[in-house]
């Protein structure tokens, strides 16, 4: 097959840009990304496809000079964050749908995926703003947390859910893992909390109601999720660490 031709820029993030590629889309990683990253994302999306979840289908991995890209279905429509920001009935409906999609993800066992706790531990070890004692305490506590075997998206927030109501597609699965769904919900809560605390509170209530997970079970992961976020260089983490007892 000949090299796909890149079209218009459709979107971008910290690690990659997304270009139109005929009827498909090319997620082109920045030159700093190692070669294994796009192959790992392609493998994850292939595994997710077999579960029948709402995710882009992969069509190949390509190299463009010093960059690697994943060719996948193009997702049409804006992210649901646009409706959530507007508020009102649209916000409530989209939040409800967001929770429904996340619970669907969590309904699938994922024995072939990396452990969520392993991911958290790796980031906590890289969190250089933590004291050695605090890091050791967190890592010891993390060992005692539930392992879980369910599929967890790892970056589940409104910008990563795109498309019209009833036809949403979940994107950016690179951080997917297997683990306790409450931990994945806690990460979503933390990301929402950084932008809109009222929305974060509504989310955790809605998720708990649909999933049967208690608020306490979800927030029991907060010390570990907040500490792991330090490694991502996020500015809002100090107040979260105080909430989590850090």
Q: Residues 216-232: pLDDT tens digits?
A: 999 999 999 999 988 87
For residue 49, what is the enclosing H or E element? helix 36-50
- What confidence score (pLDDT) does residue 231 get? 80
In the three-class reduction of DSSP (H, G, I as helix; E, B as strand; rest coil), residue 139 is classed as helix
| pLDDT given at position 77 | 84
DSSP state of 57: P
Number of H helices, E strands in the chain: 10, 9
Residue 54 near residue 169, CB atoms below 8 Å: yes
Predicted confidence (pLDDT) per residue in 38-81, tens digit: 999 999 999 999 999 999 999 999 999 899 999 999 998 889 99
CA–CA dist 120, 50 (Å, integer): 26
Would strands 67-73 and 177-179 be described as parallel, antiparallel, or unpaired? unpaired
**Where does CATH 3.90.1200.10 sit in the chain?**
81-243
Low-confidence ranges of the chain (pLDDT < 70): 1-2, 233-246
Residue closest to 39 by CA, chosen among 30, 29, 54: 29
For residue 236, what pLDDT is reported?
53
Q: How far apart, in whole angstroms, are the C-alpha atoms of residue 22 and residue 2?
A: 13
- Ranges for all domains in the chain classified under CATH 3.30.200.20: 9-73
pLDDT at 74: 95
Report the alpha-carbon distance of residue 150 to residue 107 in Å, rounded: 7
Helix 116-126 vs helix 132-144: crossing angle, to nearest 10: 170
Length of the chain equals 246
User: Token pair of 227, please?
Assistant: 């500490």
Q: What is the pLDDT of residue 1?
A: 56
Residue 138: how many other CB atoms lie within 10 Å: 23
Query: Which CATH superfamily is 81-243 part of?
Result: Aminoglycoside phosphotransferase (APH), C-terminal lobe (3.90.1200.10)
DSSP state of 94: H
Q: What is the CA radius of gyration of the chain?
A: 18
d(CA 96, CA 99): 5
Assign domain 9-73 to its CATH superfamily. Phosphorylase Kinase; domain 1 (3.30.200.20)
In whole angstroms, how far apart are CA 124 and each of 1, 67, 139, 141, 232? 43, 29, 7, 12, 10
Tokens of residue 203, six digits: 């989310």
């Amino acid at each position: 097959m000949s090299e796909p031709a890149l079209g218009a820029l459709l979107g971008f993030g910290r690690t990659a840009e997304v270009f139109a590629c005929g009827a498909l889309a090319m997620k082109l990683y920045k030159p700093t990304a190692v070669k294994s990253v796009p192959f790992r994302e392609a493998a994850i999306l292939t595994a997710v496809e077999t579960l029948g979840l709402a995710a882009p289908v992969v069509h190949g991995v390509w190299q463009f000079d010093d960059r690697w890209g994943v060719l996948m279905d193009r997702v049409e429509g804006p992210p649901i964050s646009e409706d959530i920001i507007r508020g009102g009935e649209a916000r409530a409906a989209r939040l409800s749908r967001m929770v429904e999609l996340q619970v669907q993800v969590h309904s699938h066992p994922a024995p072939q995926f990396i452990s969520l706790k392993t991911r958290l531990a790796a980031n906590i070890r890289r969190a250089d703003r933590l004291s050695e004692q605090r890091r050791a305490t967190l890592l010891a506590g993390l060992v005692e947390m539930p392992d879980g075997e369910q599929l967890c998206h790892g970056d589940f927030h409104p910008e990563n859910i795109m498309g019209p109501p009833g036809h949403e597609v979940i994107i950016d699965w690179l951080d997917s893992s297997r683990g306790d769904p409450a931990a994945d919900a806690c990460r979503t809560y933390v990301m929402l909390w950084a932008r809109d605390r009222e929305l974060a509170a509504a989310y955790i209530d809605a998720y708990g109601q649909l999933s049967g997970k208690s608020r306490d079970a979800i927030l029991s992961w907060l010390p570990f999720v907040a500490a792991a976020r330090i490694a991502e260089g996020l500015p809002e983490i100090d107040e979260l660490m105080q909430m989590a007892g850090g």
